[in-house]
Homo-oligomer: A and B are copies of this chain.
Amino acid sequence: MSANQLQTAVDTIAGECIAVRLRMLNRVVTNLYDDALRPFGLKISQMNILVAAAKMGTARPAEVCDHLHLDVSTLSRNVERMKARGWLEVVPDVDGRAQPFRLTAQGRRLLLKAAPGWEKAQQQAEIVLGDGIVNQLNQAIRRLNTVGHSR
């Protein structure tokens, strides 16, 4: 019976698991964007952060993490790399703990240069996943931010 139980569990997980599906799509789509951005020496994960910083003007790490549902330690390392490349710079702050950052001129130029690459990947992603996907994802994210988030 244990063998049957296992088979049942395995079939259920294989047939329904949300994480398996989301993670698979995430891999495929991330590769699509990373391929299109490679000529610019940029990855989509980094472009996300550049865009968030550009929208915020001066970005506080914790705020960016809230917005992107990203662990602060992850952002810390990513920002570190991007500072080293000259795309981001830290802005002084009265609060000695804070490390707010913003785009450098070089970061702005990179973002502009890479935008056509993003556009190309975005079109491919729409073809692969279907037109309705942006709305479906937005709906899930709205729901996510409503239901209550811990991290």
Query: Which A residues are closer than 8 A to B by beta carbons?
Result: 2, 5-7, 9-11, 13-14, 16-33, 44-45, 47-48, 51-52, 54-55, 68-70, 108, 111-112, 115, 118, 121-122, 125-130, 133-134, 136-141, 143-144, 147, 149, 151
User: Which of B14, B139, B141 touches A24 (beta carbons < 8 Å)?
Assistant: B141
Minimum CB–CB distance for A48 against chain B, Å? 5
How far apart are the CA atoms of A86 and B138 in the complex, in Å?
Answer: 41
**A113 nearest CB across to chain B (Å):** 10
Expressed in whole angstroms, the Cα–Cα distance for A79 and B81 within the complex equals: 29
Given the known inter-chain contacts A10-B51, A10-B55, A69-B28, please indicate yes or no for A18 contacting B133, CB distance below 8 A: yes
User: Top 3 nearest A-B pairs by Cβ distance?
Assistant: A21-B137, A26-B26, A9-B115
- Give the nearest-CB partner of A68 in chain B: B24
List of B residues within 8 angstroms of A5 by Cβ: 112
Determine the chain B residues whose CB is within 8 A of the CB of A115 once the complex forms: 9, 13
Given contacts A6-B108, A51-B10, contact A125 B18 (CB under 8 A): yes
The complex places the Cα of A140 from the Cα of B135 at a distance, in Å, of 13
